[in-house]
């Protein structure tokens, strides 16, 4: 089973059932996002970001997110400094915190967040979005 199809196990009326859902692929100038969960309470994405590119400098009004580096190495640029994350390391970004992701090599990031996936205020963007 590839990244495009995920199995979700749910408990209903004292029995288990398997629900297969298809992940949503969102192409970005810097790579892509794989949205594997977008529920009322939470969201889950995998960000694939290529070296030589970077995300916009952005913040969120409501969204809180935790990023875990699955593969690669990234630099998180924030107003109060920079943080380098390697495989197996994570950081939480709170609402209102300005941040940018800069990959130091091709990277995959697991992002778990509150469900406001469209809550993005771009301050600077290399791709004029």
- pLDDT band at residue 14 using 50, 70 and 90 as cut-offs: low
Q: Report domain extents, the chain.
A: 24-124
Q: How far apart are CA 127 and CA 129, in angstroms?
A: 6
Among the CATH numbers 3.40.50.970, 3.30.565.60, 2.60.120.10, 3.60.20.10, which is that of 24-124? Answer: 2.60.120.10
pLDDT tens, residue by residue, 62-108: 999 999 999 999 999 999 999 999 999 999 999 999 999 999 999 99
Q: How far apart are CA 96 and CA 60, in angstroms?
A: 6
Tokens 């009322």: give the residue: 40
Question: Does residue 19 surpass a pLDDT of 80?
Answer: no
Q: How far apart are CA 63 and CA 119, in angstroms?
A: 6
């Amino acid at each position: 089973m590839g990244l495009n199809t995920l199995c979700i196990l749910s408990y209903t009326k004292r029995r288990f059932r398997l629900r297969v859902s298809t992940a949503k692929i969102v192409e970005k100038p810097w790579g892509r996002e794989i949205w594997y969960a977008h529920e009322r309470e939470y969201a889950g994405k995998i960000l694939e970001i290529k070296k030589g590119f970077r995300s916009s400098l952005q913040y969120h009004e409501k969204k809180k997110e935790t990023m875990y580096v699955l593969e690669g190495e990234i630099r998180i640029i924030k107003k109060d400094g920079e943080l380098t994350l390697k495989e197996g390391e994570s950081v939480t970004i709170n609402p209102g915190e300005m941040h940018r992701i800069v990959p130091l090599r091709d990277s995959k990031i697991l992002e778990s967040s509150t469900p406001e996936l469209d809550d993005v205020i771009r301050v600077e963007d290399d791709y004029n979005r």
